[in-house]
Amino acid sequence: ETGVTQSPTHLIKTRGQQVTLRCSSQSGHNTVSWYQQALGQGPQFIFQYYREEENGRGNFPPRFSGLQFPNYSSELNVNALELDDSALYLCASSLRGQANYGYTFGSGTRLTVV
């Protein structure tokens, strides 16, 4: 059973640029959630995808967008990067997006915006 894989592990972008982060879900999981973890903070929910559709969103602006593919992998896209977007981005996969089925987290992508 493979876990959740995220790529890249680190990247540095310039303010105003766009970035795409990728996540491969755990085998058998059909739901992917994305979280932003700023330095010294707990993870904050960005959005969740189930069967290729967004089915929940946290308090993040529209320049944060995502996709889920037929194999349940997912992308997080951030446009017009701001300095405050610097954070660890975590992907979690689950079955049906229901907490009682559990979540498996990836190791994250560390994004630095300069």
Partner 1 sequence: AQSVTQPDIHITVSEGASLELRCNYSYGATPYLFWYVQSPGQGLQLLLKYFSGDTLVQGIKGFEAEFKRSQSSFNLRKPSVHWSDAAEYFCAVAIRGGYSTLTFGKGTMLLVSP
Contacting positions for partner 1 (CB under 8 A): 4, 33, 35, 40-45, 48, 50, 55-56, 58, 90, 92, 96-100, 102-103, 105-108, 110
Cα→Cα distances 67→39, 53, 62, 90, 94, Å: 26, 8, 13, 15, 16
CB of 31: closest distance to partner 1 in angstroms? 8
- Residue among 33 and 68 whose Cβ is closer to partner 1: 33
CB of 97: closest distance to partner 1 in angstroms? 5
CB of 3: closest distance to partner 1 in angstroms? 9
- Residue among 45 and 69 whose Cβ is closer to partner 1: 45
- Residue among 25 and 33 whose Cβ is closer to partner 1: 33
